[in-house]
Amino acid sequence: MDKMKAAEVVVLGGVLAVTLMAPLNANATLVSSTPSAQTQSISASAANGYVVTGFNLNMSANVSLGYDGNTTQVAVQTANAKGMHTFGGSSQGGSVAACQTASVSTPVATSPSPTGTGCN
């Protein structure tokens, strides 16, 4: 294979990889923090099909939440606006941990990758 053809294959492979990865976070859910407690309804088939049965999630005041998944994996990330860290966890290992090693001034949950640890 000549160099030009190899470069085309690499570029095409990269485009395909990005295209296949895009749906993983396309339906991610972010819940902003509010000054009072809130109830978030998580519907059946949420997190791209990971959730089988819907449920209500009671969230404390000032808490933000992000979650995403696919049919076999899920990841969550949460933060309290008055805290010092964001925390993430996933079905890949099942543990929850702080996402930063040092304190952050304004922790806000972001959309985690379902194939990661919850912190990415």
Map 62-103 to HEC letters.
Answer: CEEEEEEECCCCEEEEEEECCCCCEEEEECCCCCEEECCCCC
105 assigned to some structural domain = no
59's enclosing H/E stretch is strand 55-59
120 assigned to some structural domain = no
57 assigned to some structural domain = yes
Question: d(Cα 79, Cα 99) in Å, to the nearest integer?
Answer: 10
Strand, helix or coil for residue 36: coil
Q: Per-residue pLDDT tens for 64-117?
A: 999 999 999 999 999 999 999 999 999 988 889 999 999 999 899 998 998 889
The pTM of the full predicted model, rounded to 2 decimals, is 0.72
**Number of compact structural domains in the chain:** 1
Q: Per-residue pLDDT tens for 102-113?
A: 999 989 999 899
pLDDT for res 5: 40
104-107-109-111 Cα dihedral, nearest 10 degrees: -40
Owning domain of residue 30:
3-98
73 assigned to some structural domain = yes
118 assigned to some structural domain = no
